[in-house]
Amino acid sequence: MSYGVARYIGIDSTDTPTFTPDGDLAFLADTTGTPQVYRLGSPGAWPERLTAHDERVSFVDASPARAELMFGMDEGSNERDQLYRYDLATGEETQLTDEPEAKHLWGGWGPEGDRFAFAANRRQGDTFDVYVQGRAEPEPTLVWEGPGGFVGVAAWHPDGDALILQESNSSADQVLYWLDVDSGTTERITDTDEEARYHHVNFGPDGELYAVTDYGAETAYVGRLELSDAGGVETVEQGPEEWNVDSLQIDAESGQVAYTTNVDGYSETYLGALAEDGSEIVDTVEPDLPEGVVAGVELGPDGERAAIEFSADDHPHSVYVADVGAAAQGAADAAAASAATERWTTPGTLGIPEEQFLRSETIRYETFDGREIPAYWTLPEGVSEDGSDGEVPVMVDIHGGPEHQRRPWFYPTKQYFLNQGYAVLEPNVRGSSGYGKEYTHLDDQEKRLDSVKDVKHATEWLEDQPAADTDRLVVYGRSYGGFMVLSAITQYPDLWAAAVDFVGIADFQTFLENTGEWRREHRAAEYGSLDNPELLERISPIHDVDEIQCPLFIQHGANDPRVPVGEAEQIADAVEERGIPVETCIFEDEGHHTTDRENLIEEFERIAAFLDDHV
């Protein structure tokens, strides 16, 4: 049975769960066409919609003490979030920030719920300062003036007198600082010499600081930071077989813990408790979840429950709730903890039978330097690997980032193209996260085009697949993946029947000149700086546009603060001048992501028609 793209895009996503003090679950769902806030009192009940905006809500976070929550909302997907307080008893919304040119990064409620913190670039575009604001106060207090760069609030101290700040020099290099809220003084608490990531920062009941970090290691682990000796990190928990720990939540009062690991793209989730001395996580059990990906875990009041955001290739984004308290009783109670795991949200599939959603196979292929590149491979229903049912076109779908990882979570558009008869190959080329530090750095700056060689070798692997029609290959990608699309069709033009570029980088020079001021230095660490124009020219697809042979579809949002729309316009003009078929889809009310469902439907109906014409 064939289904239209609107059916797939209409499948709801439920995510960003947070517990209210009375135990209800608040979350985001895009049932109306844009993400809005909903509340649910019990698993499977009909959720109550709380917000009714045309613009998307970007996050929701319930107060730890009162029947209220905070949410963020931008305008036209421009990523300049403003903060709003929502009274759960009356439904009253109060806008707490009104600086439409500034980006506000939520920093969390204070431990008593009487105030909150955020970082914002109000003073100048490339500099984030830190503010604390009372829950009912009209204006915030500037508590720290940043020297420049991308800085956010990572955690509140349980006593409410200090904040942990996270400065991001690049995606692979973060620095943590201790900020005294009253005095505004800061002290660096991570190593001054070694590059490392620090995220999911939490305080434990002992007042010590924990984070997911790869300091001194190839992969990320749960570490305890030695605050008295800046830079020291004690290993608390490692991932299985040295795969990355992905996320961490600790309840500072009870010591209950939830953490996830990333094992070749699939998640393993553990519930437990910190040992009395805080040196390890004990009594861990695994909640009863299907095989798939956990995007996040949020602990509830007193750490007794964990809300788990889950999806898989064949499982739309849903929220499960697990009993963390049972985990602390010991491994003997594991069965009880598993039995307590319940699915709270069940997005419908608009009548598409769930068995129509196909699971991918994890494969690896050898690339030019002998490395094994991990990828996910999915054939359409009814197509045999041996090619006895005929050959099918293949979509080579490259993720963004580049420090990102394609994982087997639910993509409605992927399932649509499978339903339309395309096979899908999703490579995690060098530069992807999830496979260790060394792998992540293999595409840095002058090595940028090595990742494109990995795509070329993906097509060589496809040559050996009897079901793959390599005369009908489509290269497809978003953001950095869009750059990979443009680079693939300029570096290896004879491989492709068509290309689909979403918000891709065409020229690294103009990209760095025009991207959001707060992102420029952060991205230069990965791509190269404006001080090295020769490198930027060598790796930019715009300078090899004469090589393009295949039809090209380009999508972009006019409000994109990350990859400005000029990147789409210049590559489209250059391709059109050569007489190559090119179609553009630029939305005036969208940014880096298409967030309005009507726009998404239009976008993918046009892409489907474009591929029908050219593939």
DSSP for 261-276 reads EEETTEEEEEEEEE-T
Q: What is the pLDDT of residue 504?
A: 93
Phi, psi of 461 (to 5 degrees): -60, -40
Q: What is the CATH number of domain 360-614?
A: 3.40.50.1820
E strand or H helix at 425, and its extent? strand 423-427
Distance CA 8, CA 541 (A): 32
Report the length, in residues, of the chain: 615
pLDDT averages per 10-residue partition of the chain, 615 residues: 92 96 95 95 93 96 97 93 97 96 96 96 92 94 92 96 92 90 93 88 93 94 85 89 93 94 96 92 91 95 92 96 68 49 93 94 97 97 88 96 91 96 97 92 87 97 96 95 96 97 93 77 73 87 95 95 92 95 95 90 96 95
Distance CA 50, CA 53 (A): 10
Distance CA 205, CA 257 (A): 11
CA angle 276, 279, 282 (to 5 degrees): 65
Helices 480-491 and 450-463: crossing angle, nearest 10°?
A: 70
Q: Record the pTM.
A: 0.94
Q: What is the CATH number of domain 189-350?
A: 2.130.10.120
Q: What is the pLDDT of residue 536?
A: 86
Distance CA 418, CA 392 (A): 10
For the beta carbon of residue 370, count every other beta carbon within 10 angstroms: 6
For the segment 334-378, what is each residue's pLDDT rounded down to a tens digit? 444 453 799 999 998 999 998 999 999 999 999 999 999 999 999
Residue 579: DSSP 8-state? T
Residue 528 · residue 508 · CB < 8 Å? yes
Two structure tokens written together for 443: 């595409």
For the segment 556-593, what is each residue's pLDDT rounded down to a tens digit? 999 988 889 999 999 999 999 999 999 999 999 998 98
Q: What is the pLDDT of residue 580?
A: 96
Q: What is the pLDDT of residue 298?
A: 95
Residue 301 · residue 21 · CB < 8 Å? yes
Q: What is the pLDDT of residue 89?
A: 96
Tell me what percent of the chain is helix, strand and coil, each rounded to the nearest 5. Answer: 20, 35, 40
DSSP for 100-120 reads TTS-EEEEEE-TTSSEEEEEE
Residue 435 · residue 374 · CB < 8 Å? yes
DSSP for 241-295 reads GGPEEEEEEE-TTT-EEEEEEEETTEEEEEEEEE-TTSSSEEEEE-----SSEEE
Buried b (16+ CB within 10 A) or exposed e, 536-565: beebbbbbebeebebbbbbbbbbbbbbbbb
User: Same CATH topology for 189-350 and 360-614?
Assistant: no
Each domain of the chain, given as residue ranges in start order, spans: 189-350, 360-614
Within 8 A by CB and 6+ apart from 201, the residues are 154, 155, 164, 166, 176, 209, 210, 211
Q: What is the pLDDT of residue 53?
A: 96
Q: How far is CA 527 from CA 73, 170, 369, 534, in A?
A: 30, 11, 21, 12
Q: What is the pLDDT of residue 328?
A: 53
SS (H, E, C) 426-480: EECCCCCCCCCHHHHHHHCHHHCCHHHHHHHHHHHHHHCCCCEEEEEEEEEEECH
E strand or H helix at 614, and its extent? helix 597-614
